[in-house]
Amino acid sequence: MAQGEDGATQKSQRTRQRILDAAAQVLSRKGYAGMRLTDVAEVAGLQAPAIYYYYASRDDLVEEVMWAGAHRVREHVEAVVGDMSDATALERILAAVDAHLRYELQISDYTTASIRNAGQVPEHLRVRPAAEEAAYSRIWRDLFHTAQDAGELRADLDINIFRLLLLGSMNWAVEWWNPRTRSLDELVRSTQDMVRFGAGA
């Protein structure tokens, strides 16, 4: 490939990423119903028609954001707990709680958008993100099973119910958490306490 063509490809990739970043930001704040391509274009610093060069439709752009949000939080939490080989099983769950909340509320517009709009987007846009969410749910299932097998969680704990309640409550935080009234550190500690004292042996 000629050097000029390579440079053009890189520029195209950067522009595509800029559009995707802008869409994640707009979708996380305005939701599926309120997201307009003109808003995305304004954040990305482009003319709205230019978006169609990179994404065939508004829904294609939304689906990519939703998938990326689910994929990135899974990779982030996997990496955090994967680096804790010397930790107890319960410590890994508590670290996963910390990683999930900080990623969705502070680090990634993508994950905020994915969580906030999961129930708003049409069903056909949920297929690919839902597969990522299922893989993510299995990570939590394995963490809980390992902790229960190690005697670190109550033997009578219904892991499936508690896991779903935990993930649901953490995801709901995108709707009500306000950093002006409650710090993220406080939220993380309270959620970890819910695990420690609600499920711990």
**7 within a domain of the structure (yes/no):** no
**2 within a domain of the structure (yes/no):** no
**20 within a domain of the structure (yes/no):** no
**32 within a domain of the structure (yes/no):** no
Check residue 1 and give its pLDDT. Answer: 46
Give the chain as a 3 state SS string: CCHHHHHHHHHHHHHHHHHHHHHHHHHHHHHHHHCCHHHHHHHHCCCHHHHHHHCCCHHHHHHHHHHHHHHHHHHHHHHHHHCCCCCCHHHHHHHHHHHHHHHHHHHCHHHHHHHHCCCCCCHHHCHHHHHHHHHHHHHHHHHHHHHHHCCCECCCCCHHHHHHHHHHHHHHHHHHCCCCCCCHHHHHHHHHHHHHHHCEC
pLDDT values of the chain reduced to their tens digit, one per residue, 201 residues: 445 557 767 888 889 899 999 999 999 999 999 999 999 999 999 998 999 999 999 999 999 999 999 999 999 999 999 999 899 999 999 999 999 999 999 888 888 888 888 888 999 988 999 999 999 999 999 999 999 999 999 999 999 999 999 999 999 998 899 999 999 999 999 999 999 999 998
User: How would you class 11 by CB atoms within 10 Å of its CB: exposed for 0-12, middle for 13-18, buried for 19 or more?
Assistant: exposed
Check residue 10 and give its pLDDT. Answer: 83
Check residue 108 and give its pLDDT. Answer: 85
Check residue 4 and give its pLDDT. Answer: 57
**13 within a domain of the structure (yes/no):** no
Contact between residue 177 and residue 105 where contact means Cβ atoms under 8 Å apart: yes
**9 within a domain of the structure (yes/no):** no
State the CATH number of the domain containing residue 67.
1.10.357.10
Number of domains in the chain: 1
Range of the domain at 65: 59-198
pTM of the model: 0.86
